Chains A and B, each alone.
Chain A
């Protein structure tokens, strides 16, 4: 009895700030409070001072009509839509050029990376020269080069358009082509496409399972492609081609109707892809060279030919080295797409942080929203690539 009470006494006698657990928690709470207070202070002070100086604040401006036109929009837009809508128009344009850039840059980068290691002397040297030239010239200059020096200097005016079969036209205003307009019965093609995808997934799984169990190979990917593309085509013709084409036609200054790709999009996608591809090529080369030569020799000893050695042995191991730096390149590409503003491609920075910011004057809100968007896109890409990386990582068996 006495012991315990004495113990309790010594416990209470020890000052609480000597308790390591308490101290750890207390300091973290204090640090947390300091950080929250700091940001609150900045936020509140900015607001107070802007109010004092008669600068309008708040997000109410997003509902006001924008009143200006935008060159290209993936969603419906005209002058009567709101500033909030311009945000989404710009965002989608940014995403479009980023996705296109990532696809082209990855494809080209992988081809170049493999080409640099090729036994073909000419191919390897051409790839080396490409990489060294493209990655050592500032991206902005490359964008200007493709846009002003190549596209605009060489493309003719609309009246002298390059003409292919009276349906595809190329001029300084863009690339015009016929737009498909589905008519009654087109939904059957969509259904066939859905079925084709489902069947392809099944075939691939079945083939993998059979190969694992019995070792019999089946051209699974080729037949899957056949299912995804062939089945809808078959239905399309069986239904008597339920689609008309809307051809572009020269009316007044420009072509009207049809589909159109603006030269700004072409130049920007082109420049971003070529530039990023040079970095991806180096990453791929490093990844492949990072796989020890013993792996290749072992594969050869087992009788694998060149192609399967690369596809089945080297690349899967190289991917583990490639993916983390590849993620950084994707992030760079997305952020570099904001250089669009220099050549008039209406991306988020050009439309929202450009025209909208200037017309409303609400710098803090607009810049904040734009930064938040880039942060979100980048974090999404990062988490996707981290997931993919985990999936590709070495699985101990």
Chain B
């Protein structure tokens, strides 16, 4: 709470005195030598620190890729853990350079907060985690249920919409953090817990008895999660957007962190333009020609990023589904580097 207040005061103060400092995020980052990136406080697979404060996750990798593209070193990132409530204020006030915190791209956020969404690094959807003991098989049987939910997310609205649409009643218990939400659910305060599906698996894996809960098949909303930057700095917006596109393009072209060095001598003009052997894609972004090469060798292409953090071989065991490349039946699609 105190932090929200501090940051809220911060935005007011920053809005007052630092009006012109926001134009050149790229120069700021280069001068500082470190990218300041807002992430979640701990969400397995997306952004979570280990005991040595090394952050890992698919959201974290987005920050690291941008740092590699801009500064040439994926480790030059300072991660700022933020609650759902704090995140936009931290970005608006310039406390962070970019936000990569499982944030849903919505109309309101894109238009009224002074922010821009720079793409989608994970296509998610809201679902339900339910106590197996209740014997519920479908979300349509949930009339009258108590729902545990985390404050400051789009999930509250989706939940209300879904229950209203299906003529059902519910009562929501809103907690401040993900851990308290889980504890409320585990202790039986609620019948169901609702959140983005990716988070449901993460939450279930943290439960003392994961097998006592099940994820219902219904997905009740579209949740495109992606990195966010401030409005009004198009150079920086392009850099974040195209770093993500470069990773998706790399997967499509078969460029991986392991073979990128060899691929530099590829005959494929698309690969040449991406890796900077021909053309001036990097200069147009205001970066060196090895921007995408650095991001891919140090962080990997989109597929590597996905498999490493949330893929089938991780505890979350999420299949590619919507996040497969467009050519493989998914939604991940990047405009060409040309």
Contact = CB atoms under 8 A, between A and B. Distances in A.
Interface in B216-258: 230-232
Contacts of B16: 42, 45-46, 49
B164 interface: yes
A54 B144 contact: no
B55 interface: no
Contacts of A157: 188
Interface string A36-48: 0000001001100
- With a 10 A CB-CB cut-off, give which of A52, A253, A364 has the most chain B CB atoms: A253
Nearest to A50: B15
A69 B172 contact: yes
Interface stretch (B3-11, B66-74, B293-301): B3-11
B108 A361 contact: yes
B145 interface: yes
Contacts of B15: 45-46, 49-50, 53
Contact of B160 (A54, A68, A155): A68
Contacts of B164: 79
Interface residues of A, number: 52
A125 to B, nearest CB: 35
Interface stretch (B82-90, B266-274, B325-333): B82-90
B80 interface: no
Q: Which of A49, A251, A367 has the most CB of B within 10 A?
A: A49
A152 B108 contact: no
Given A49-B15, A67-B161, A253 B191 contact: yes
B143 interface: yes
B216 to A, nearest CB: 14
A342 interface: yes
B173 interface: yes
A155 B4 CA distance: 33
Interface string B162-173: 011000001111
Interface stretch (A23-31, A229-237, A351-359, A378-386): A351-359
- Interface-centre pick from A69, A153, A360 (highest chain B CB count, 10 A): A69
B283 interface: no
> Size range of the interface on B?
35 or more
Given A342-B176, A344-B175, A346-B174, A54 B188 contact: no
Interface stretch (B119-127, B148-156, B195-203): B148-156
B84 A69 contact: no
Contacts of B261: none
B112 A172 contact: no
A289 interface: no
Contacts of A53: 15, 22, 92, 114, 230-232
Contacts of B230: 53
A79 B165 CA distance: 12
A153 B208 CA distance: 14
A360 B111 CA distance: 11
Contacts of A152: 183-184, 187-189
B39 interface: no
A155 B142 CA distance: 22
Given A54-B231, A69-B171, A354-B174, A363 B89 contact: yes
Contacts of A361: 88, 108-109, 112-113
Contacts of A46: 12, 15-16
A53 B14 CA distance: 12
B277 interface: no
A152 B184 CA distance: 8
Contact of B8 (A173, A338, A354, A367): A367
A351 B12 CA distance: 22
A71 B144 contact: no
A341 interface: yes
Contacts of B160: 67-69, 79
A54 B114 contact: yes
A206 B183 CA distance: 58
A253 B184 contact: no
B159 interface: yes
B300 to A, nearest CB: 33
B157 A263 contact: no
Contacts of B143: 252-253
Interface string A335-355: 000110111101001110111
Given A46-B15, A71-B171, A358-B85, A341 B176 contact: yes
A244 interface: no
Contact of A355 (B5, B114, B148, B174): B174
Contacts of A71: 171-174
B144 A153 contact: no
A364 B108 contact: no
B146 interface: yes
B144 A251 contact: yes
Contacts of A155: 188
Contact of B157 (A50, A67, A338, A353): A67
Interface in A125-169: 148, 152-153, 155-157
A282 interface: no
B187 A153 contact: yes
A251 B1 CA distance: 37
Given A46-B15, A357-B85, A343 B175 contact: yes
A107 interface: no
B232 A359 contact: no
Given A358-B85, A367-B8, A172 B172 contact: no
Interface in B44-68: none
B206 to A, nearest CB: 15
Nearest to B7: A363
Listed residue (B148, B157, B232) with the most chain A CB atoms within 10 angstroms of its CB = B157
A254 B144 contact: yes
B138 interface: no
B211 interface: no
A338 B2 CA distance: 11
A254 B157 CA distance: 22
A364 B11 contact: yes
B184 to A, nearest CB: 7
Contact of B144 (A50, A68, A69, A253): A253
Interface of B: 1, 4-5, 8, 11-12, 15-16, 19, 22, 84-85, 88-89, 92, 108-109, 112-114, 134, 142-146, 148, 151-153, 156-157, 159-161, 163-164, 170-176, 180, 183-184, 187-189, 191, 230-232
9 contacts: A42-B12, A53-B92, A56-B112, A79-B160, A152-B189, A344-B180, A350-B151, A363-B8, A364-B11
